[in-house]
Amino acid sequence: MVYSTESFHRSTFRIILKIIKIEEMKNYLIIFALFIMPPLSQAQDEQAAVIKVIESLFDGMRASDSLVVKSAFLGNITMKSVFEDNEGTPQMKEVNVAAFAKAVGTPHDQLWDEKIWSYEVQIDGLLASVWTDYTFYLGDKLSHCGVNNFQLQNTRNGWKIIQLVDTRRKINCKESPKSELNTLLDNWHKAAGTADEDAFFGSIGKNGIYIGTDKTERWEKSVFEVWSKEYFDKESAWDFTPIEREIYLSKDYKVAWFNETLDTWMGVCRGSGVLEKEDGEWKIQHYHLSVTIDNDLIKGFMKLTGVEK
């Protein structure tokens, strides 16, 4: 079949029109999606509101305040606990909110303290589902641990708990990750002291940043590995010994930040950084090393570096 030039141009023009219409439709779909999807900040606000209700429940329990405990729930719902008895037989225990609040408000010698290690929140309209890891303490003594599964409804009075089921066990209980993080950081410094390259860089996140004492030293992990190779080829890359350290954790226990002082060949240095879980493991995402200078020596330091003539 032979096409005329005019026929060819008409066919080409129709194809172009179709492409334009398809692209216009894509744009309309994108605009429509933007209208129907809630803004990210709104979703974050809703998650924060849901978590706040759960936090108020356990704050009320720690304070032995039955009114605060009751206010977290929508009505006198029945809470359930599933567990295995001493013979390994599956069991379920039920208690309603009124009985639970009364127990909370009854004076007891030891503090009831349920620590929540993580929150997984899902929201669809008026319904929220929250999964949390917890460890329950009687005073300073670990009692049991497990997970909580909350269902919440958004009411005219805000989010309220409409269902709560928990599991209970006495083994493999999580405790504060601070000891785990201290061990990680101590071993990280030790890895540099023994030139264990795998352990040192294995403790840093994929996109981790290391900031050294020189003003030019802002290393991305991959670049830092290349630069420091000559040091790790020796018996010791550098030997920093921690003197003291403070660790802080976000409320959901997913992010930690710290500051520490170190005994080094440069004298006492200060380090600070951020850790975050990556593929389920804590990793150093940011570390900043700095040299400390006594205030009464700062003038001499400024002259030495040429800042002050």
Q: What are the tens digits of pLDDT across the range 38-83?
A: 565 778 889 999 999 999 999 999 999 999 999 999 999 999 999 9
pLDDT digits (tens, 9 = 90+) for 159-187: 999 999 999 999 989 888 888 899 999 99
pLDDT of 137 reads 95
40-167 and 178-297 share one fold: yes
Average pLDDT estimate for 287-299? 93
Q: Return the domain boundaries, the chain.
A: 40-167, 178-297
Confidence of residue 308 (pLDDT cuts 50, 70, 90): confident
pLDDT of 1 reads 45
Task: Return the number of other C-beta atoms located less than 10 Å from residue 148's C-beta.
Answer: 21
Q: Is the pLDDT of residue 26 over 60?
A: no
Confidence of residue 303 (pLDDT cuts 50, 70, 90): confident
pLDDT of 8 reads 46
Q: Which residue has the higher pLDDT, 12 or 114?
A: 114
Q: Is the pLDDT of residue 3 over 60?
A: no
| β-bridge mates for residue 167, sequence order | 82
**Distance, CA of 117 to CA of 251 (rounded, Å):** 8
pLDDT of 49 reads 95
pLDDT of 41 reads 72
Q: Which of 60, 154, 72, 157 is nearest to 112 (CA)?
A: 60
Q: Which of 288, 241, 287 is nearest to 262 (CA)?
A: 241
Average pLDDT estimate for 125-141? 95
pLDDT digits (tens, 9 = 90+) for 146-158: 999 999 999 999 9
Identity of residue 184:
L
Topology classification of domain 178-297: Nuclear Transport Factor 2; Chain: A, (3.10.450)
Q: Are 256 and 249 in contact (CB under 8 A)?
A: yes
Average pLDDT, the chain: 88
Q: Is the pLDDT of residue 276 over 80?
A: yes
pLDDT > 70 in the chain, percent: 87
Confidence of residue 18 (pLDDT cuts 50, 70, 90): low
Average pLDDT estimate for 92-115? 95
pLDDT of 286 reads 98
pLDDT of 38 reads 55
Average pLDDT estimate for 23-33? 53
DSSP for the chain?
A: ----HHHHHHHHHHHHHHHHHHHHHHHHHHHHHHHHSPPHHHHHHHHHHHHHHHHHHHHHHHTT-HHHHHHTBSSSPEEEEEEE-TTS-EEEEEEEHHHHHHHHHS--SS-EEEEEEEEEEEEETTEEEEEEEEEEEETTEEEEEEEEEEEEEEETTEEEEEEEEEE-BSSS----THHHHHHHHHHHHHHHHTT-HHHHHHTEEEEEEEE-SSTT-EEEHHHHHHHHHHHHTSS-S---EEEEEEEEE-TTSSEEEEEEEEEETTEEEEEEEEEEEETTEEEEEEEEEEE---GGGHHHHHHHHTS--
Confidence of residue 309 (pLDDT cuts 50, 70, 90): low
**Which top CATH class is 40-167?**
alpha beta
Identity of residue 138:
L
pLDDT of 11 reads 57
